[in-house]
Amino acid sequence: MQEKLEEVNPVEWSDARSALLDWYRTHQRPLPWRESPNPYHTWLCEIIMQQTRIDQGIAYWQRFISTWPDVLSLAKSPLEEVLKAWQGLGYYSRARNLHKAAQILAFDRQGHFPETAEEWQKIPGVGPYTAAAIASICFQEPVPAVDGNVLRVISRFRDVREPIDRPSGRKSIEAFSRQWIHPTAPGIHNQAVMEIGATVCKPTSPRCSECPLSDQCLNVQPESGGTPSVPIKQGKTKVKQVNLHFHVVTNGTHVWMRQRPEAGIWGGLWEFPSEEVNALTSSPVLPHAAQAMQAPDTAIMWEEPFEHILSHRKMRCQFIVWHTTAAFAPSEGQWLAWKSAESKPRPRAIDRFWRRLEKSCSELARR
């Protein structure tokens, strides 16, 4: 990569950078957090938008701003309410870190936000990219914010042939980005590169004719279309296959729920007790914590098994309904009215079936 840097005239960098900023001022999408950037709104945006589609993330960002208009109100809110508002976004460690960070910002720092990327990285849940994005957008610190979009744009722009998912490739791109970033408008610069990656320099069939960097780009594609051979990736993390039973113990009006530990998937969320099994079976065993339940009806396999995909897990899930008319006091979790259970934050794998499952269990109890 160093050879590539030496080949490029700094005047060309400056011309490309000017074209980049001019393009952004005309073509940027009208996103709500761009209207009047401030540290709280920008921080919320960057945390919510991790691993999230822009159309989905906007609704969540607006909900958070409406519910908690400042960092103090977010810090004072119970964690469970934050997890409930986060429901459906996945990666729930982000929500827990968001709440923890809000308390640090509001109470330990008396509402004063960090102004440098180095200081932002001391805040829970804030990594190098997020720290640089906030510091450059809100405090004009000239630090490059390098996310997936930026890795793709710069690897094509400078023809980086090292894998971008390995330190060698990433360091090459970061080195160029530090030299290239606009010294007095770093926030606009960072957003412009990300915007090109999101709207023009897409993973496949980039629209090179619309790109302000096309004159200097080393991977411009012909008008007929095509996808560059870069960025290069060494390989993806292997996806684990999992079979999961959800045990729905109910009397029709109440249901057994438990809170998952903070570590691991769905940390801190509430679920029907689940267990990994070698294979989904029509002869399940009642979980040990429910063994004291008197004479449950035969297990009912509710509807068909379904798939639920997480980043590194492909789950095949099955709801198993255990109906009881006797009193039930599980040795873990809680015996909750369905309405109370519904107020708990829960995984998307359960939430997507909640209404139909509750209705089925109520009808079963009336038979």
**Residues with catalytic function:** 46
Structure tokens at 23: 């393009």
The b/e string for 162-197 (b: 16+ C-beta within 10 A; e otherwise) is bbbbeeebbebbbebbeebbbeebbbbbbbbbbbbb
- DSSP 8-class letter at 208: G
User: What residue has token string 């496949």?
Assistant: 204
Q: How far is CA 212 from CA 26, 74, 152, 195, in A?
A: 11, 40, 15, 12
Q: Is 113 helix (H, G, I), strand (E, B) or coil?
A: coil
Nearest to 79 by CA among 256, 262, 257: 262
Q: Which helix (H) or strand (E) holds 180?
A: helix 167-180
- DSSP 8-class letter at 20: H
By CB atoms closer than 10 A (0-12, 13-18, 19+), residue 320 is buried
Structure tokens at 291: 């063994």
Q: With beta carbons less than 8 A apart as the criterion, state whether 271 and 347 touch.
A: yes
